[in-house]
A and B are shown apart, each in its own frame.
Chain A
């Protein structure tokens, strides 16, 4: 039987949040790219929560944008509510989160892909990898069609052998009843790839008309919306927003869950795979936080044109009747009508320690993977990896050095380093606590950190690069200027201080010192700073942060310096760990399996102790001395 054969530079398998970024990046770098999806109607689908961003995930979106990705622009165009979180804390943990109109989000991304030069989106299930002598050669679809390519990016999300479960109901399907991809796993295994099975879950969607909002707290968006993308005009995102609603579970809810826990597939043993500890189901929360008498439930709209509401915080895989019973105990949900049941989903993913920090498989040249297939969870985590995998697939075809971000450069660097190093046994979620140098990795300075890298890769144009450079030159100049401004004890100064609830001055001081007071800021002291130039909000914000937190920033930079020292100690790729006397057996095995590229990476492998690292250091040192 004759089969179709086509040739491309890059094949992307999957068109979820990872696949979209990978395909766009590759095509935008000028490579002929084909992106496969099981359904063209599910491009950039948000099958779980209806929002983008949130604590630390907002950082990821900002970074994706600074590198030239699409997610930030897409949500700026389709959000229905936006909020900067954690503003009571320091700028390091401020995070932007926006509620999306799910269908709009998906449609806009689809249109972006479909209109992208060098990119074809193809609906077909990829069944097989073509690998020859450790080098990827393309893919085959279920129909037997062959798509040859120099690089392949796997972004299969939760679709590999997907199975959805609630109570004792289980069926082989992807999210929202979409077709699973049931063939590709075998091909991965055949090519020596270690596969594991993870689980995640989603709460029920309910009918807006069945909710009594009067029993809930209304959650508004910010009055002044800040866009995700550094390129989005601020004025364009000031628009009417919808509200979310907050209510709580109670003892009655928890009792129903406890009484029926044996019917939960998680506890009855139907589900063996590992779920995300940091995005737990309501069953997990009730068991884990037994002392808490209530848990938050956020009621979030799924879009302008639907009555479906998402029950944030109550994901579950309980049987239908238990779901109904427990939801109805929640104030405001007494008469709730479920539109879609909560369910858990199981899927195949890979052990990401098989990947280099470039997201290329160590053993198969030209094969990359990004997103939930790497064991992560979340749209933003997926998009970030998809972008890096897509960029590096393209760079590998162009025979250029890969883009690798380290832990001191970006949350994306932390995310990827954790995934390829730590062998996490559950879906990995980004969190601010995972980033050691978060005061440097703020969401507000992602452009300063990463635009230049996006530019070097080729995803950021000259104009945007110039603008970023100009912005930070202005910041630098203004910081210098403010340092030289002295403030006396004039009536005007004292009056401004009084108004801000700040102690009056007894002697003159520098403006920079005043800004450091917690109740004051660069912006608040405009009145007493006569020669202040007119500056954009974003510039003023940077000046404020820089001056206010100078001491902490410089201390964190010192930590980074120390970190870099171990990071720059490269381990030879063919090092024979068995020959190193003094390494514990467990450490030897872990190191030999993972083959870290640096002492720094080696030090983060679980099961490798600081003493092992000292041994490794001493041994490498001795080796190089003896020649």
Chain B
């Protein structure tokens, strides 16, 4: 029996404005008619598709809410089934009541991702587009959103499909020649193949290169704030988070644990780790914090190194600087609202000449927020070399895609080494086929037994 599913489609934490309860399935209109009383008295069953109706949601005679109901009849809907969306007044209680009423009248609660699963199952979108929906929903910022939109539009699918078709052509020719050597010639074919495979490797590498950005866009930059005690690291974190997260006091050594928080700066997410100030200490508890701090700094992709601008550079500062070579570092001269003893350009040059540390130095006041823009620009410059602005370009943001592309690359490189080592074409097709199938897995043209479930399990309810 076909199910008619329903769920709250707007975020469940949402407490203001309007909430949407979405229902999809063969009985969606039937069920909606049971609970919805249009102002004009007409039933939804008689109404035209893709129309909006105003009226009351009732459970038997009890009015639950007044609502706008959007009616979308199959097949031109998200799931390709009849869909009814009830726009009710916000407030989690009312929204839940509306949903419960639908369930009472025959709808069943949708599983996580079931609407999108239906869209996929009913052939409206392919797997990579379905994945894009997940990414779209989960995208925490505008760049992730753009990339997801691009993927949803099928840009990744198109690129992968093109590459895949090309590989298949080569396999097909070799196979034809193996079976009909009279009419298909393999003389010098490996040279031709070599050139093509080089090209494929190039393409896949380019796609993969975007995945670092993709990951950064999607997951944020793991950032460690480092500096000796009481230079204002926690204040900086708070300025970024605009919320009192870490305990800020004037007593050196208050922050003992690395506090993780995601903050957004100019559309880019930073996974901030506020760290205990680094200071030679005998305090055992604090020592753990300091070791952790150094450990985090080693693992971080970006280190924001904070100096107190009202003081000169100390021995402790220098020891921190020493430990940061080979890292992406932004040095912040904090407390710029106070009299500064440090100059940006001078310091930048000094760090480079004396300590061969390529750090960008920025003057910033955690207290007033002055200099935060400059910090954002510096981060963008450091991680995206400017091309993050490109609109809806292919950016590999999905870990599954990334690892499949890596496997594709491995297979293609095996084709290359096979050619180098003088293996005949009948061997080369083995790795070409592997590459072909791995690419197919990305776009769902190749079937893996548990693929679909793995993807849809990641969905949140109601999408």
Contact = CB atoms under 8 A, between A and B. Distances in A.
Interface residues of B, number: 40
B451 A614 contact: yes
Contacts of B176: 433
Contact of A611 (B126, B424, B425): B126
B122 A581 contact: yes
A358 to B, nearest CB: 25
A414 to B, nearest CB: 13
Given A90-B423, A439-B427, A614-B127, A566 B447 contact: yes
B178 A432 contact: yes
Given A518-B423, A614-B120, A599 B431 contact: no
B452 interface: yes
A295 B453 contact: no
B427 A549 contact: yes
B178 A93 contact: yes
Contact of B182 (A295, A518, A555): A295
A559 B445 CA distance: 16
B159 to A, nearest CB: 18
B122 A566 contact: no
Interface in B421-445: 421-427, 430-431, 433-434, 440, 444-445
B452 A618 contact: yes
Interface in A598-617: 599, 603, 610-611, 613-615, 617
B280 interface: no
Contacts of B449: 565-566, 569, 599, 617
A317 B446 CA distance: 43
Contact of A582 (B121, B180, B424, B444): B121
B442 to A, nearest CB: 12
Interface string A326-357: 00000000000000000000000000000000
Contacts, number: 102
Given A92-B426, A610-B447, A617-B449, A278 B179 contact: yes
A241 B433 CA distance: 41
Contacts of A518: 421-423
Interface in B68-126: 117-118, 120-123, 126
Residue among A439, A519, A552 with max Cβ neighbours from chain B (10 Å): A552
Interface of B, secondary structure class, is: helix
B2 A581 contact: yes
B444 to A, nearest CB: 6
B121 A552 contact: no
A569 B448 CA distance: 11
B39 interface: no
Given A92-B426, A556-B430, A618 B453 contact: yes
A292 B183 contact: yes
B392 interface: no
Nearest to B443: A610
Contact of B178 (A433, A549, A556): A433
Contacts of A562: 448
Contacts of B452: 614, 617-618, 621
B422 A89 contact: no
B317 interface: no
A97 to B, nearest CB: 13
A88 interface: yes
Contacts of A55: 178-179
Contact of A555 (B123, B430, B453): B430
A364 interface: no
Interface string A191-202: 000000000000
Interface residues of A, number: 45
A581 B183 contact: no
A296 interface: yes
Interface string A45-59: 000000000011000
B430 A439 contact: yes
Interface string B177-196: 01110110000000000000
Contacts of A519: 422
Given A432-B178, A610-B444, A89 B451 contact: no
A611 B123 contact: yes
A90 B424 contact: yes
B301 interface: no
Nearest to B1: A579
Nearest to A602: B447
Contact of A431 (B121, B179, B422, B434): B179
A296 B183 CA distance: 10
B59 interface: no
B455 to A, nearest CB: 10
A289 interface: yes
Contacts of A618: 117, 121, 452-453, 456
B182 A296 contact: yes
B175 interface: yes
- Which 9 A-B pairs have CB atoms at the shortest separation, nearest pair first? A582-B121, A433-B175, A518-B422, A431-B179, A613-B447, A90-B426, A618-B452, A89-B424, A614-B452
22 contacts: A56-B179, A86-B178, A89-B178, A90-B423, A90-B426, A432-B178, A433-B176, A433-B178, A516-B421, A555-B431, A555-B434, A565-B449, A582-B118, A582-B123, A611-B120, A611-B444, A614-B127, A614-B447, A615-B121, A617-B447, A618-B452, A619-B121
Interface of B: 2, 117-118, 120-123, 126-127, 175-176, 178-180, 182-183, 414, 418, 421-427, 430-431, 433-434, 440, 444-449, 451-453, 456
Given A519-B422, A611-B120, A617-B451, 9 more contacts: A89-B426, A90-B427, A93-B426, A295-B182, A518-B422, A518-B423, A610-B445, A613-B447, A618-B456
Interface of A: 55-56, 86, 88-90, 92-93, 278, 289, 292, 295-296, 431-433, 436, 438-439, 516, 518-519, 549, 552, 555-556, 559, 562, 565-566, 569, 581-582, 584, 599, 603, 610-611, 613-615, 617-619, 621
